[in-house]
Amino acid sequence: MFGIMAFAMLLGSMNYTNNLSFVLTFLLIGIGFVSMHQCQRNLVGLELSFAGTEPVFAGQTMRFGVAVTNHSKSPRYGIRLYREGLQTEPQDLQPGESKVFIIPVPTEQRGWITLDRFGVRTLFPFELFRSWAWLHMDIRGLVFPRPATDPPEPPPTMVAHGHRQHDARGEEDFAGLRKYQTGDSPRHVAWKAFARSGQLLSKQFAGADTSSQWFDFNDLHIGDAERRLSVLTRWIIDADRSLEDYGLRMPGEEFPPTHGEAHRRACLEALALFEDGVT
C-alpha cells in the first residue's frame, strides 16, 4: 500500500509539475528505504537458544521456552517469535539483554513432541516492511499419557512393618507441623494452631510402618495398551498427591515403591515412552 501510494504521488507530481509534491514524494520514498534498512538491521546481533520446557499430559499445551539475547550495542525493538499462525507478544531488547519467549504447541499423544521449526521476525520501525528468519533447532519435550477420568479402583495398599520411617504417613510419634495439603485427613489438622494463627497446618508423624502399592501394567486387563497407560497415570497422580509409596512394574523395567517428585517423574516417563505393541 505504501509503495502504491508513493508511486501515485510521483505520477501526480510529474503530471502537475508541482515542486512541493516532488519534495513530499521523495521524502516518503526516502523514509521507506531507511525503514527497510532498519527493519533488516533490527534482527542483526540476536542469538536464540533453547530455554527448556516442562512435561505436560496429552491434551495440554506444551510451552517451549526460547531465549533471545541481544549481543549488539543497540536496542532491538518489536521482536516476535512465531509458528503456524501463532505468535508471541512483541518484546524490546536492550544491549546485552536476554528474554525468554514462550512458544505454545498443542499436544494430542504421549511421547516426544518436537518443535520442528519456528520463526523470528520484526516489523520495526514503521511496520512498512517485515524482516524474518526461520530456525530449525533440535527442540523436543515429553508428553505424559492422558490421565483416565474413570479409572478402576487401584490395587489394595500393603502395610510393611519395621521398615524406614515415612514422615508423611507415619502414625506413631508426633514430628511437627507442615502446611496443609488437599487430601489431608481432617483429624490431622492442627485446629488449635488454626485458631491462633488462622493458617491451616497438618500434624506430621514419624512411624516405623509404611504403606505402599504396586501398579503393574500386566495385571491390568482393560482395553488396549493406551487405556492401561492412562489408568496407570491416574493411579500415580492420585498416589503422589496422597503421599503414598507406590511402585510401578512395566514390561522390562521396575520402579520400587517410594514417593517424591523424582520417582513420580521417572514413572510417568516410563509410561510416556512405552513402546506400542509390547505386552
DSSP assignment of 17-59 equals T-HHHHHHHHHHHHHHHHHHHHHHHTTTTEEEEEEE---EETT
Give the model's pLDDT for residue 165. 45
Does pLDDT of 279 surpass 50? no
162-191 pLDDT, tens digit per residue, is 444 444 444 456 667 777 766 566 667 777
Give the model's pLDDT for residue 158. 63
DSSP assignment of 234-263 equals HHHHHHHHTT-EEEEEETTEEEEEE-SHHH
139-158 pLDDT, tens digit per residue, is 999 999 999 999 999 988 76
Does pLDDT of 210 surpass 70? no
Give the model's pLDDT for residue 243. 84
Does pLDDT of 160 surpass 60? no
pTM (2 d.p.): 0.74
The more confidently predicted of residues 230 and 18 is 230
Contacts of 11 (CB under 8 A, 6+ apart): none
* Distance in Å from the first CA to the final CA of the chain: 62
- Tell the CATH topology of 46-144: Immunoglobulin-like (2.60.40)
